[in-house]
Amino acid sequence: MTNWPYPRWIAHRGAGKLAPENTLAALRVGASHGYRMFECDVKLSADDVPFLMHDASLQRTTSGHGVGGDKAWAELSMLDAGGWHSRGFAGEPLPTFESIARYCLHNRYMLNIEIKPTPGSAERTGKVVARRAAELWQPTDVPPLLTSFEPDALAAARDAAPDLPRGLLLDTPHPDWLVTAQRLGCVAIVCNHALWDRHTVASAQAAGMRTLSYTVNDEWAAERLLALGTDGIITDRVDLFSPLA
């Protein structure tokens, strides 16, 4: 993408830790701090409904138990996805991807959709999520950015919705990171912020890639990334960093 349409600052999982992650409430809290782009995790229910949740298991962020991807949406929709965070958010439901998409579209917010497959479902998740995203965002000026740690999910997303921009997520260094991103037709590399240095930034930019970082919650880390000339910073600290900086 020669004309990069996304802001530098992106709110992680909606509003980081100020609200229950990956919920509509979290996006609203992030928006109240001035953020206009949000990162979220999307996976599939057993009956192929895309919904927001990070973990494969339900226990940490919902009132449920077991693997989320093994449950039908009718069961998942009844869970409390807010009470674990604080009493003020008790009863907050798990959101469907469609409900989050429509909230963003109505308010002209932008979205970084991390495709987060339940283990063993990378290709199916990439295909379904990308296809639904293409349907929801057609036509719009700024498409969502699809990212994943799973090359198979990104390949399926590319085949299902080739016009949507993609980014490869990296948590640890490996020698083929740039070749993999190019093979998948990515426009961005989204790294654990510690992986960026002058050499890796220069290599990505020379290949025409944008450089994004997660999860940046300290001022010293943000200042280092700004000095390196990176393009995007994903943060939990929507209360600390101004999205206008």
Which residues are annotated as catalytic?
12, 54
How many C-beta atoms surround the C-beta of residue 205 within 10 A? 15
How many C-beta atoms surround the C-beta of residue 107 within 10 A? 11
Task: For the chain, give the number of residues.
Answer: 245
Task: Look up residue 205 and give its amino acid.
Answer: Q
Nearest residue to 60 (alpha-carbon basis) of 21, 87, 88: 21
Kindly report whether the peptide bond that precedes residue 139 is cis, defined as omega within 30 degrees of 0: yes
- On whether the CB atoms of residues 234 and 212 are closer than 8 A, the answer is yes
* Sign of the CA dihedral running 186, 154, 100, 118: negative
